[in-house]
Chain A
Amino acid sequence: MPKITSAEQLKSHQQKAKQELDNYPVMVSLCHGTACCAIGAREVAAAFEKELAAKQSVKFIKSGCHGFCEVGPLVVVRPIGVVYQRVKPSDVPEIVERSVRKGEIIDRLLYRPGDNGKVYAKEDEIPFYAKQSKVVLAQNSHIDPFSIDDYLASGGYSALAKALFEMTPDGVLKEVMDAKLRGRGGGGFEAGWKWKFCKEAHPDLPHHIVCNADEGDPGAFMDESILEGNPHSVIEGMIIGAIAVGGADGFIYIRNEYPLALRTFHHALKQAREYGFLGENILGSGMSFDIKISRGGGAFICGESSALFRSLEGKVGEPRAKYIHSVERGYHDEPTNLNNVETWANVPQIINRGAAWFTSLGTPDSPGTKVFSLVGKIENTGLIEVPMGITLREIIFDIGGGIKGGRAFKAVQTGGPSGGCLPESCLDLPVDFDKLTEAGSMMGSGGMIVMDDQTCVVDVARYFIDFLIEESCGKCLPCREGLRQMSVILHRICDGKGLPDDVDDLEKLGRTIIDCSLCALGGSAPNPVLSTIKHFRDEYLAHINEKKCPGGICTALIEYFIVADLCNGCSTCEKVCPSDAIHPVVGQKREKGELRIIDTAKCVKCGACIEVCPTDAIIRK
Chain B
Amino acid sequence: MQAVLTSTPVRTEMEKEIEALLADYDKTPEDLIMVLQDIQGKYNWLPREALEYVSRRLDVPLAQIYHIGTFYKAFSLEPRGKHILHLCMGTACHVRGAMRIAEEYERQFGLKLGKTSKDGMITFERVNCLGACAIGPIIVVDGEYKGDMTVNRANAIIKRLRREDAGEADDA
Q: Say yes or no for A606: interface residue by CB 8 A criterion.
A: yes
Asked whether, in the complex, the Cβ of A37 is within 8 Å of the Cβ of B33, the reply is: no
Q: With A and B bound together, what is the CA distance between A298 and B89 in angstroms?
A: 14
Known: A375-B136, A578-B107, A606-B100. A449 touches B130 (CB 8 A): no
Q: Interface size for chain A: under 10, 10 to 19, 20 to 34, or 35 or more residues?
A: 35 or more
- The contact string, 1 if C-beta is below 8 Å from chain A, for chain B 81-113, is 000000001111011110110011001100000
Interface SS majority for chain A: mixed
Q: Are B100 and A35 in contact (CB under 8 A)?
A: no
Task: Determine which of B33, B97, B131 lies in contact with A297 in the assembled complex, contact meaning CB atoms within 8 Å.
Answer: B33
A217–B94 Cα distance when bound, in Å, is: 13
Question: Given the interface contacts A298-B72, A375-B136, A447-B91, does A258 sit within 8 Å of B29 by beta carbon?
Answer: no
Listed by A's residue number, 29 A-B pairs whose Cβ atoms lie within 8 Å are A35-B135, A38-B132, A38-B145, A38-B147, A69-B134, A216-B129, A218-B91, A218-B92, A219-B90, A219-B91, A220-B129, A221-B131, A257-B127, A295-B37, A297-B36, A297-B37, A298-B74, A311-B33, A314-B60, A373-B131, A375-B91, A375-B133, A375-B136, A377-B95, A381-B134, A449-B95, A578-B107, A608-B150, A608-B155
How many whole Å from B68's CB to the nearest CB in chain A?
A: 6
Which residues, 276 to 323 on A, are CB-close (under 8 Å) to B? 294-300, 311-317
Cβ of A39 and Cβ of B33 under 8 Å apart? no
A311 to B30, CA, bound (A): 9
Complex Cα distance, B68 from A218, in Å, reads: 23
Q: Evaluate contact between A221 and B133: CB separation under 8 angstroms.
A: yes
In the assembled complex, A376 has its CB within 8 A of some CB on chain B: yes
Give chain B residues whose Cβ lies under 8 Å from the Cβ of A608.
104, 150-152, 155
- Which residues from B are CB-within-8-Å of A197? none
Give every chain B residue within 8 A of A297 (Cβ-Cβ). Answer: 33, 36-37, 68, 71-75
Contacts known (A317-B71, A576-B152, A578-B104); A449 close to B37, Cβ less than 8 A: no
Are B151 and A72 neighbours in the complex by a CB distance under 8 Å?
no
B32 within 8 Å of A by Cβ?
yes
Instruction: Let me know if B34 is at the binding interface, CB within 8 A.
Output: yes
A35 touches B132 (CB 8 A): yes
User: Do B128 and A449 have beta carbons less than 8 Å apart?
Assistant: no
User: Which 9 pairs of residues, A with B, have the shortest CB-CB distance?
Assistant: A297-B72, A221-B131, A69-B134, A218-B90, A38-B145, A219-B91, A298-B73, A375-B133, A375-B92
Residues on A with beta carbons closer than 8 Å to the beta carbon of B134: 35, 69-70, 72, 375, 381-382
Q: Which residue of chain B is the closest to A604 with respect to CB atoms?
A: B107
A340 within 8 A of B: no
Nearest A-chain residue to B129, judged by Cβ: A218
B-contacting residues, A580-621, CB 8 Å: 604, 606-608, 611-612
Contact check, A35 vs B133: say whether CB atoms are below 8 A apart. yes
> In the assembly, what is the distance between CA of A18 and CA of B33, in Å?
41
CB of A113, distance to nearest CB on chain B (Å): 15
Question: Counting CB contacts under 8 A, is B160 at the interface?
Answer: no
Assign chain B's interface to a size class.
Answer: 35 or more
Q: In this assembly, does B31 line the interface, its C-beta being within 8 Å of a C-beta of chain A?
A: yes
Q: How far apart are A47's CB and chain B's nearest CB, in angstroms?
A: 19
CA distance A463 to B132 in the complex (A): 19
**Chain A residues whose CB sits within 8 angstroms of the CB of B96 once the complex forms:** 376-377
Partner of B129 from the list A221, A311, A460, A555 (CB cut-off 8 Å) is: A221
Contact (Cβ within 8 A) B92 A376? yes
Known: A38-B146, A377-B95, A455-B95; 10 extra A-B contacts, CB below 8 A, are A218-B94, A219-B133, A224-B131, A257-B130, A295-B34, A297-B36, A298-B74, A314-B68, A381-B92, A449-B92
Contacts of B130 in A (CB 8 A): 34, 257
Q: Does B118 contact A (CB under 8 A)?
A: no
Give the distance to chain B from A295, nearest Cβ to Cβ, in Å.
Answer: 6
Q: Which B residues touch A257, using CB under 8 A?
A: 127, 129-131
Contacts of A606 in B (CB 8 A): 100, 103-104, 107, 151
CB atoms of A294 and B132 under 8 A apart? no
Docked complex: B130-163 residues within 8 A CB-CB of A: 130-136, 138, 145-147, 150-152, 155
- For residue A168, CB closer than 8 A to chain B, the reply is no
A301 to B: closest C-beta gap in Å: 9
Q: What's the nearest-Cβ distance from chain B to residue A607, in Å?
A: 5
User: How far is A413 from B74 in the complex, measured between Cα atoms in Å?
Assistant: 27
Contact with A along B58-84 (1 / 0, CB 8 A): 001000100110011111000000000
Whole-angstrom distance from the CB of B96 to the nearest CB of chain A? 7
Residues of B within 8 A of A215 (CB): 131
Q: Which of B28, B37, B132, B152 contacts A611 (CB 8 A)?
A: B152
Asked whether A216 lies within 8 Å of B128 as measured between CB atoms, the reply is yes
Q: Which residue of A lies closest to B144 (CB)?
A: A38
Contact of A451 among B71, B95, B127, B129 (CB under 8 A): B95
Q: Which of B36, B67, B95 contacts A460 (CB 8 A)?
A: B95
Q: How far is the CA of A606 from the CA of B132 in the complex (A)?
A: 24
Q: How far is the CA of A34 from the CA of B132 in the complex (A)?
A: 6
User: Which residues on B sit within 8 Å (CB–CB) of A57?
Assistant: none
Q: Considering residues B89, B108, B130, B132, which has the most beta carbons from chain A within 10 angstroms of its beta carbon? A: B132
A490 CB, nearest partner CB in chain B, Å:
14
Complex CA distance for A447 and B130, rounded to whole angstroms = 13
